[in-house]
Chain A
């Protein structure tokens, strides 16, 4: 991400923590990162740039600040767009169309599998015996090898061509062009993101977003209909909630008692709470048993004490007796509930 990309994930209304954006990209799924990622509506960014170094966005942030486009607090963390920044952010910038579905799939693994599969089939179609395969991890190589052995046929090349064409035709022409030019295959090493960015007069990150849209469309097609890619990708569809958190959630549903769940699952109470917050962040309102944890009385107490914008709520500003009675966990869960449209029994939603 360069400054031109970072500016697109900032707003003039909400200060956004640089470290949260960085951690989202790096795939660091702490509850705090997930919570704020949700507040910023940036959860689709999770794990999209795992090779990003710590502090890897600092230069881009500094450049925005120096250019008068954003302000940064004294701790170099809270970013907010300035009026000039708002105007600068209005330039034509690619807005991904499939982003909402990205977290339903291990998208990075899907990307690796698709690119290698396309290369393998392309070389196979042209009867090339010797070529340099794309460098990927072992899991990808094994998955693609097994898939290829299963699917190998004289018609596979044409079937893949059809699947790719069908998926890309549903997207803007530029996205189809970008996705295709990044592919590697027979006598076609493929362009690098930087090369495509230069041709398209866009940033390398925009090119990445376009490619993810292209690949996601291929994945979605393979989910809805039977395409040659269906079996290659089937194991990568996943709930964004980790397996462990799902088990905790299930146990809580059954008992409703967090301490009991901790004992039963042999995990710490704090871990139970983290699991629940993670699940609450990712799941729709109706799929989480808020009523089992947030009692009406607690909700009323919080509603009375927590007013104004959710982002400005402070646990430490609650009356001391309330803090003593209710852990930070309840405060955070209440915020998630309200944000998702949770309504008090008297029918009042207090988000302002």
Chain B
């Protein structure tokens, strides 16, 4: 078979692989399943693209975010791969049927777990020769599986029904527990290819603020002072929208909101504006980030406490992909942990509800997400006791993850060491490493590079000129 580097040159024109890519490909070539834990920007997509190029058959990619899936297809088209399609709940009926008629012709197929778990779809896929099954953003199995998108829990069984194809699990962040859980759910014993989660060029900062008002003021102060582009993460769509408007009026910077509540067109435009350097700041929910190609993000601020270190690592990992100095700030006000606790519980039915549901399933409305979950488990023959156990374990797991997040917030000495420990790594503290909450942030000492970005004062171009520029 052609050498990996030769294929790399042929397809992408690169001379060298990035860390982790070659090792993963070599393990896959030698017949191993692989769990690749590689940071955002490490080029995870290239791995399965190149594998698909080198092996006949179809690469089936299970992808969590519907909006992201179409991005991925576009990206593949741009990279010169033509036989690519995505099927998910957003795919129109005609389009889905057109894809299904030519299923055997595709080299790459993207699918949501929900679509994949449909028996008819599964039987169609069984007719194909799968060269590789890819589970993208594999940490979602653990983060979302039990109480958000239970279809993730079926992936192990689906993999068996597909005849145990060679499997590549991809994620940017997974500690030991998460890795074990991913392998367990997918019923495999993968080779683990992992690089350190550490991003030495990202300065870590935690700031204790008195209350909401103080937090908001500090956010405006930071946004005004920091060189863009930046991202501020919020846990609520409404707040992301409101704060985008407020920050724009307070700081004069060009700010936009991005969350799952926007329509496709708006999401597309905001993402493109950000990548084109026309926005200083995005106020986002966790919906923003996966699939955003932008290397010069200078800072990521968290306005709310993330639910676990893995989400946090994933989100701050979007800063400084160019290797230049960057900053991750977490703003914390006492009691902030209540929000992730509440959000975590929102979907999870209590033992009493589980009992009532199993006694009278017909009396419940499946439009309710909690009931939908229970219906899913009941339809899959899982007993009431097992469901209660599952949720109890889930709650314990979430509480543990949140406690770990809080230990990061309260860390008195070195945030980096605390962060790395969460991923079973060691690190050493140094002068330009972090500012725990007792230590004031010295922005000047960070030497964040200035990037030219659009300013709100830019005059509006007359429409005739704007049209002329288009053609």
Contacts and interface: CB of A to CB of B under 8 A. Distances in A.
A165 B95 contact: no
B463 A180 contact: yes
Interface in A113-166: 118, 121-122, 125, 130-135, 137-139, 157-158, 160-161, 164-165
Interface string B442-471: 000000000000000000101110111111
Residue among B95, B273, B467 having the largest count of chain A Cβ atoms under 10 Å: B467
A188 B95 CA distance: 28
B270 interface: yes
Given A132-B78, A138-B98, A189 B278 contact: yes
Contact of A180 (B92, B263, B268, B466): B466
Chain A interface size band reads 35 or more
B266 interface: yes
B92 A192 contact: no
A98 B10 CA distance: 54
Given A185-B470, A190-B269, A131 B78 contact: yes
B345 interface: no
Nearest to A189: B272
B399 interface: no
Interface stretch (A66-74, A77-85, A193-201, A323-331): A193-201
Contacts of B266: 192-194
B256 interface: yes
A184 B471 contact: no
A191 interface: yes
Contact of A157 (B270, B276, B464, B471): B471
B265 interface: yes
Contacts of A122: 470-471
A80 to B, nearest CB: 30
Contacts of A51: 263
A160 B470 CA distance: 10
A130 B273 CA distance: 16
A105 B225 CA distance: 51
B470 A132 contact: no
A1 to B, nearest CB: 14
Given A122-B470, A132-B268, A188-B469, A139 B74 contact: no
A180 B471 contact: no
A181 B95 contact: no
A211 to B, nearest CB: 11
Contact of B269 (A133, A139, A184): A184
A28 B269 CA distance: 29
B276 A137 contact: no
A294 to B, nearest CB: 40
A176 interface: yes
Contacts, number: 89
B362 interface: no
A192 B241 CA distance: 13
Interface in B96-144: 98
A186 B467 contact: no
B471 A121 contact: yes
Nearest to B91: A138
B276 A189 contact: yes
A158 B471 contact: yes
Given A158-B471, A165-B464, 4 more contacts: A135-B74, A168-B463, A177-B460, A189-B278
Nearest to B78: A130
Interface string A181-221: 10111111111111100110000000000000000000000
Contact of A192 (B74, B95, B265): B265
Residue among B78, B94, B269, B469 having the largest count of chain A Cβ atoms under 10 Å: B269
Contacts of B70: 135
16 contacts: A51-B263, A133-B74, A135-B74, A135-B265, A135-B268, A173-B463, A177-B460, A177-B463, A180-B463, A181-B460, A187-B469, A189-B268, A190-B269, A192-B256, A192-B269, A192-B270
A189 B269 CA distance: 6
A165 B262 CA distance: 30
A181 B463 contact: yes
